[in-house]
Structure 1
Amino acid sequence: MRNRRMFVLMIVFILFVAVMGFTIGDRKKLTWPENFALDTSGFFQQWLYRPAGYVSGLVHDLSHMREVYKENEQLRIAAAAYARDSIKYNSMETKLKTLEEELKFTERQKSLDNYNYLIAQVVAVSTDPYDETIRINLGSKDGIKLNMVVVTNKGLVGLVTRVDPFFSSVMPITKLNVNSIDTKLIAATVFGKESESFGIVDNYDAETGKLSMSKISEHDPIKKGDTIITSGKGNVFPRGIVIGTVDSTQVGDFGLTYTATITPAADFNHLTEVFVVQTPDLGDTGDISP
């Protein structure tokens, strides 16, 4: 038994020496044990590497997808913030332009007459055909009184006809006519020709959306394209407020006077902000003759 073990050890040693001899020889070619070992390890390696590569790639893709998701979430938040800020900016820009126009309007009017202008928000517009009034958010607590004139930066809107502590009602000039409020007719003239022109804005045509100016003298220089303003006569409507633009002139009743068709300057369909005009002396009625 002992001799057999010795014999096996000798055989193993001889084989080891033979293998070493093969390896010590020409290294340009691999020995068959090396080829066998490499082929065997390569075969098992490819079957082990592919699943490992798939798993590694999957883990990497999942990690990358998580990063992409986070980036997309941040981009969505940034896009939402940009949209919000863009809307806010556009709103502020529009408001700024409106305020700039209104400031120019008030400064221009102040250079003509010593009026004070109170800016008000339109909170409601009545659709009742028998009571078409405009509701504003200024009242007696703000110094508003009956018969104060209301305007926009474009032109005349109407008169204050009711005053509450915090709100007031305004009757637009489209309702100030001979059949309703005959003491509130608008004495008017032509801008730049105040000493030569005079008439009464006394009616509104709902179908055409035009105002009518009557009692115009045959010698009046009024013509198409002229800007019609309040003349200040009658002590109701302050002088110099734009009413509208002349569209055409016609011969009036009996051929003694002329009438004119006027396009209102104020846009009554898009009233959001208006001005209440405070004058030093406000009368309720007066003589409106030239």
Structure 2
Amino acid sequence: MLELFKLLGNKRLFILLIGLILFVAVMGFTLGPRAGLSWPEKFIKDTVGFVQSVFYKPARAVAGFFEDISNLRSLQEENKELKIMMAHYSREMPKINALQTQVESLQNDLKFTEAQKNSNKFDLAIVDVVSVNNDPANRTLVINRGSNDKIRKGLTVISDKGMVGIVSEVSNFTSTVKLLTSMDSRDITSPGIAATAVGKENTSFGIIEDYDQQTGTFLMTKINQNDPLAKGDQIVTSGAGGAFPKNLPIGTVVSRQPGNGLTATATIKPAASFENWKSLFVVITWEVPK
């Protein structure tokens, strides 16, 4: 009997040591410098994302049911507007196709590189929101698409109104999106967004790099004093630097303030509402070959 206890004790000690070694190995691999997530992290994120979707989607469905009932009255008016928009779209399509053919011809004549030709081309992949993290310091959400669906780190995520966030982590079947409401110029990992005003693309430029949690607005900086940017202007991505596609809606100028003498700043009301999402779109841009 004593030998049996010793044997069991040795087995437990052996299993404990093996577990400890595996734990240290995984932690070392996870904490070390790397370009993406390790496979244990991807597995955990995909598993957690699936479990969250089981609870999140039904809850959103119930909330959406009552919301849809309250919106039934506006559906008829919206359908009329959509029919008008489709009529305008059908009328303008021949002009758009002709212009596209002309642009492609000019690009070939000017010997544009493939990267230049594809810099403004993108596809939209519709995704479902699995869960939302409402931590004010690090607002993120999880979507139900990952690397298996050509989602990659750094892609832009938008709603039907405007920019929402940037893909920050990717696993096989889910991805984490860092919301623009987490933007902070003091954070070196927070990217600035090169922006311009609609109709003033050649004369207006600034950087969106901060979000004010109290006022719910963006701060646009590095605006030249001679810049014609004014209250009411529609702000979109400029495409400068290649980090974000051109002409993605960001918001509307609420006010413009003097800066440090050389530049000015502007307060931007976001186009997106940052709440009550069911589905979003990932902007899949052309990937430069390595």
Normalised by the length of structure 1, the TM-score is 0.58
Name the CA shift for 1:183/1:249 in 2 (closer, same or farther; >3 Å).
Answer: same
Shift of 1:137: 0.9
Within a 5 Å distance, the mapping from 1:28-107 to structure 2 comes to none
Identify the residue that residue 235 of structure 1 maps to in structure 2: 242
- Aligned residue identity for 2:270: P
Q: Is the 8 A contact 1:230 1:237 kept in 2?
A: yes
TM-aligned CA distance change 1:183 to 1:281, over 3 Å? farther
Code of the aligned partner of 2:271:
A
User: In the alignment, what sits opposite 1:270?
Assistant: 276
* Alignment root-mean-square deviation, CA: 3.2
Q: CA 1:282–1:234 in 2, change beyond 3 Å: closer, same or farther?
A: farther
| Matches of 1:131 and 1:194, distance apart in 2 | 32
Query: What is the aligned counterpart of 1:217 among 217, 220, 224?
Result: 224
Cα distance change on mapping 1:225 and 1:185 into 2, 3 Å: same
SS of 1:223 mapped into structure 2? coil
Structure 1 unaligned regions, length at least 5 = 1-85, 284-290
Q: Per the alignment, do residues 184 and 170 of structure 1 end up closer, same or farther by CA in structure 2, a change over 3 Å counting? A: same
Matched, 1:257 2:263: yes
Separation in 1 of the partners of 2:135 and 2:210?
19
- Contact persistence 2:245–2:285 (CA under 8 A): yes
Do the aligned residues in 2 keep the contact of 1:201 with 1:213 (CA within 8 Å)?
Answer: yes
Which of the numbers 122, 145, 148 marks the counterpart of 1:115?
A: 122
Aligned structure 1 segments of 4 or more residues deviating by more than 3 angstroms: 110-113
Paired AA for residue 151 in structure 1: I
- TM-aligned CA distance change 1:210 to 1:282, over 3 Å: farther
Distance 1:183 1:282, change over 3 A: farther
CA separation in 1, counterparts of 2:173 and 2:137? 24
1:96-154, CA deviations, whole angstroms, 9 ceiling, x for partnerless residues? 96xx79x98xx99x999421000011121102334310111111111100000000111
Aligned pair in 2 of structure 1 residues 182, 190: CA closer, same or farther (>3 Å)? farther
Quote the sequence identity (%): 42
Structure of higher RCO (CA pairs closer than 8 Å, 6+ residues apart): 2
Q: 1:206 aligns with which of 210, 213, 218?
A: 213
Task: Tell me what 1:171 maps to.
Answer: 178
What SS is found at the alignment partner of 1:270?
A: coil
Q: 1:282 to 1:211 in 2, by over 3 A?
A: farther
Structure 1 234/241 Cα, relative in aligned 2: closer, same or farther at 3 Å? same
Distance 1:168 1:179 in 2: 25
Could you say which structure has the larger radius of gyration?
Answer: 1
Q: Distance in 2 between matches of 1:177 and 1:207?
A: 14
